Amino acid sequence: STQYESILTSRPHPSVTLITLNRPKALNALSTSLFLELNKALFEADADPEIGAIVLTGSDKAFAAGADIKEMKDKEFSDVYKNKFLENWGELARLKKPVIAAVSGYALGGGCELALMTDIILASPTAKFGQPEINIGIIPGGGGSQRLVHAIGKSRTMEMVLTGRMVTAQEAEQWGMVSRVTENVVEEAVKMAIEISSKGQIAVQAGKEVVNAAYEMSLAEGLRFERRTFHGLFATKDQKEGMTAFAEKRKPEFTHS
């Protein structure tokens, strides 16, 4: 597989890709080159038929401390506007396969936004989430102001965005920003990824698609989209196998078809 400089990739199970952000000296600050490598690794995993789910993590000290401030500091409006600065960040949200973020330590600015772009966030008790951009004269630019409103509501989002205060793992869990707080967060995320990979992959991808549609659609449209997608799954072998196996009191053997 490809050699990278700012990330590590591994396969803790034949069905799972683990991507580890790896710029320890910069607390995994998200430089442009890191993001290009990350997107490449994500799309490679998304295209690999053996892979059912992806885990994204950082180090114990930092998931990612944000966009690379040293890279950004001297840029002008004309540079960032004309060159679509950081626009490729959104590509993670186009993956079909689920991505689980395993967050320890700092998830700040773009790091918090990166976690919010994934499908499920597991946090270690050491995790700290924040949108500290206000302290350096800017605001979130990687979706934080929008995705946080959906995740935790307006008042908490305003507090995070306008004060820059860091939120503990426990608060993030109470607020519904993460699905749970757990020790051994990478191990737990890989376990969850293996479990998801054991399901019928068409149903998994359809499940991700319909949940994400809730961000974009009215309730009536979303309900219709869910039902249509549900109906569509009756065209798959996995639906026949899943229901037959239940009736025959055995484990299903999904063929992802």
- Catalog residues that contact ligand CO8 under the rule CB under 6 A: 26-27, 29, 65-70, 86-87, 89, 106, 108-110, 132-133, 136, 141-142
Catalytic residue among 26, 53, 133, 207: 133
- Comparing CB distances to ligand CO8, the nearer of 87 and 221 is 87
Which element (helix H / strand E) includes 12?
strand 7-13
Q: Is the CB of 98 or the CB of 143 nearer to ligand CO8?
A: 143
Helices 144-152 and 110-117: crossing angle in degrees, nearest 10, is 60
Q: What single string gives the DSSP state of each residue in 74-107?
A: T--HHHHHHTTTTGGGGGGGG-SS-EEEEE-SEE
Strands 167-168 and 128-130: antiparallel
- Catalytic residue among 41, 65, 67, 102, which? 67
Closer CB to ligand CO8, 134 or 223, in the complex: 134
Of 74, 64, 72, 73, nearest to 26 (Cα)? 64
Nearest to ligand CO8 of 149, 233 (CB atom): 149
90 is catalytic: no
Cα distance between residue 237 and residue 30, in whole Å: 42
The structure tokens listed for 107 are 């998830």
Smallest gap from Cβ 150 to ligand CO8, in A, equals 18
173 in active site: no
- Tell me which of 113, 130, 173, 189 is the catalytic residue: 113
Parallel, antiparallel, or unpaired for β 7-13 and 16-21? antiparallel
Active site residue 76: no
Give phi and psi for 242, each to the nearest 5. Answer: -60, -45
Sign of the CA dihedral 83, 84, 87, 91?
negative
To ligand CO8, the closest distance from the beta carbon of 165 in angstroms equals 12
Neighbours of 39 (CB within 10 A): 17
At closest approach, how far in Å is the CB of 227 from ligand CO8?
35
Catalytic residue among 110, 142, 143, 144: 110
Smaller CB distance to ligand CO8: residue 37 or 68? 68
CB of 241 to ligand CO8, least distance (A): 42
Q: Is 66 a catalytic residue?
A: no
CB of 84 to ligand CO8, least distance (A): 9
Residues classed as catalytic: 67, 110, 113, 133
